[in-house]
Amino acid sequence: MTRHLIDVADFTSAEVTAMLDLAEVPAEDLPRPLAGKGAALIFEKPSARTRHSMEMAVVQLGGHPVFTRGEEVGFDVREPVEDVARIMEGFHSLIAARVYDHSTVTRLADVSTVPVVNMLSDYSHPLQAFADALTMRQQLGVLAGKTVAYVGDYNNVARSLAEISARLGMHIRLACPVGFEADDAELERILLLGAASVVQGNRPIEMVVGADAVHTDTWVSMGEEEEEDKEAKRQKFEGFTVDDDMMDAAGDGAIFMHCLPAYRGFEVTASVIDGPRSVVFQQGHNRMHAARGALAFLMGADVPGEQQ
Ligand code: CP
Ligand code: NVA
């Protein structure tokens, strides 16, 4: 059966752990499941980390990445999404897409006979979450029972972080401005994925108390850049900037995390993101290792040295 990576929640806790374990295996010790094969990487939105980490992960697994901008492919403009999948699977062993509308990646997956990978949609950002979990695991050790706090919009990054944190048995704290929260059904869904607990509130300083890791993301996601919307959103997010007081409230050993790109002075102060508690560049570099682990898993690689 072809496995697709659309959302973290599609994988069990054991599978998520296996993908993270594969991410820790140096590239030279992994098999080359993509040897002689292509990988289509299609981007409807800009990217630095995702494009580079995915291209390098494909190369490290022996494959050849082919980057294409979304407008060249023209999902549902030049041809239906399903026709793109049916053509690409004839050239490639993997199709990955960064899309505006989540249904574009699910439609690719519905018809594709090769794995489809979600490289960010309006709904979720699973590859980011794998790098986030890998970084937390490296920094904090066993994650079950640890506390992750997210400050900001309950957006694509927050949802995937919540899913992976739940799969790994963490306590989850969400500090979201009024109108930008997860609804009750979503909180229940995250809890049922395996979280130790899920709590949401509108006062960040309270939500971060005792957190082992404090995450945030931009207040303005790709596709929301209209100047008026941006300004309105910034006003509603007043008080949600992760600053030194917030990190002090989290506790002594707390680390600061951000998927990047970051906007200093908005969602985080320069003193926090450029300070000693920040692990954002380790987190960014882990995008490549996490992508390699996830792709190796999808292509059927076992964790070397483990009894199957
Ligand atoms: N974090 C992340 O996905 O970065 P890019 O948008 O640069 O790929
Ligand atoms: N939430 C952001 C993440 C960027 C990596 C966006 O969707 O633009």
- 77 and 158 inside one domain: no
- Pick the atom of ligand 1 nearest to 125's CA: 3
Nearest ligand atom owner, CA of 129 = 1
Query: Which of the residues are catalytic?
Result: 98, 125, 128, 217, 259, 287
Opening angle at CA 17, ends 12 and 22, nearest 5 = 125
SS3 annotation, the chain: CCCCECCHHHCCHHHHHHHHHHHCCCHHHCCCCCCCCEEEEEECCCCCHHHHHHHHHHHHCCCEEEEEEHHHHCECCCECHHHHHHHHHHHEEEEEEECCCHHHHHHHHHHCCCCEEECCCCCCCHHHHHHHHHHHHHHHCCCCCCEEEEECCCCHHHHHHHHHHHHCCCEEEEECCCCCCCCHHHHHHHHHCCCCEEEEECCHHHHCCCCCEEEECCCCCCCCCCHHHHHHHHHHCCCCCECHHHHHHHCCCCEEEECCCCCECCCECHHHHCCCCECHHHHHHHHHHHHHHHHHHHCCCCCCCCCC
Instruction: Kindly state if the Cβ of 218 falls inside 6 Å of ligand 2.
Output: yes
Angle between helices 126-140 and 13-23 (to 10 degrees): 70
- Which one, of 173, 235, 176, lies nearest residue 202 by Cα? 176
Given a contact cutoff of 8 angstroms between Cβ atoms, the answer to whether 118 and 105 are in contact is yes
| Distance between CA atoms of residues 293 and 131, nearest Å | 10
Instruction: Point out the domain boundary residue: 107, 124, 141.
Output: 124
| Distance between CA atoms of residues 141 and 146, nearest Å | 9
- Pick the atom of ligand 2 nearest to 156's CA: 1
Instruction: Kindly state if the Cβ of 131 falls inside 6 Å of ligand 2.
Output: no
Q: Other CB atoms closer than 10 Å to residue 253's CB: what's the count?
A: 11
Question: Which pLDDT value is given to residue 301?
Answer: 80
- Closest residue (by CA) to atom 2 of ligand 2? 221
Q: 148 pairs with which residues across the strands?
A: 172, 213
- Pick the atom of ligand 2 nearest to 217's CA: 1
- 89 and 173 inside one domain: no
**Total domain count, the chain:** 2
Residues with Cβ within 8 Å of 43's Cβ and at least 6 positions away in sequence, in order, are: 50, 51, 67, 68, 69, 70, 97, 98, 119
| Distance between CA atoms of residues 93 and 205, nearest Å | 46
- 196 and 227 inside one domain: yes
- 108 and 145 inside one domain: no
- Residue 225: give its domain's CATH number: 3.40.50.1370
pTM of the model: 0.97
Instruction: Kindly state if the Cβ of 260 falls inside 6 Å of ligand 1.
Output: yes
Domain residue limits at 116: 31-124
- 156 and 242 inside one domain: yes
Instruction: Point out the domain boundary residue: 124, 141, 168.
Output: 124
Instruction: Kindly state if the Cβ of 259 falls inside 6 Å of ligand 1.
Output: yes
Give the Å distance between the CA of 271 and the centre of ligand 2.
22
Question: Which pLDDT value is given to residue 224?
Answer: 84
Question: Which pLDDT value is given to residue 306?
Answer: 65
Question: Which tokens in the block code for residue 225?
Answer: 């850049």
- Pick the atom of ligand 2 nearest to 49's CA: 5
Q: Is the N-terminal amide bond of 26 cis, ω within 30° of 0?
A: no
- Pick the atom of ligand 1 nearest to 48's CA: 7
Instruction: Kindly state if the Cβ of 158 falls inside 6 Å of ligand 2.
Output: no
Instruction: Kindly state if the Cβ of 157 falls inside 6 Å of ligand 2.
Output: yes
Given a contact cutoff of 8 angstroms between Cβ atoms, the answer to whether 42 and 73 are in contact is yes
**Residue 308 lies inside a defined structural domain of this protein:** no
- Closest residue (by CA) to atom 1 of ligand 1? 259
Instruction: Kindly state if the Cβ of 192 falls inside 6 Å of ligand 1.
Output: no
Q: What is the pLDDT along the chain (308 residues), one digit of tens a residue?
A: 899 999 999 999 999 999 999 999 999 999 999 999 999 999 999 999 999 999 999 999 999 999 999 999 999 999 999 999 999 999 999 999 999 999 999 999 999 999 999 999 999 999 999 999 999 999 999 999 999 999 999 999 999 999 999 999 999 999 999 999 999 999 999 999 999 999 999 999 999 999 999 999 999 999 888 877 788 888 999 999 999 999 999 988 999 999 999 999 999 999 999 999 999 999 999 999 999 999 999 999 877 776 55
- 117 and 140 inside one domain: no
- 57 and 181 inside one domain: no
- Closest residue (by CA) to atom 1 of ligand 2? 221
Give the Å distance between the CA of 218 and the centre of ligand 2.
7
Question: Which pLDDT value is given to residue 307?
Answer: 52
- Closest residue (by CA) to atom 7 of ligand 2? 221
- Closest residue (by CA) to atom 6 of ligand 2? 221
Question: Which tokens in the block code for residue 229?
Answer: 């919307």
Nearest ligand atom owner, CA of 128 = 1
- 44 and 65 inside one domain: yes
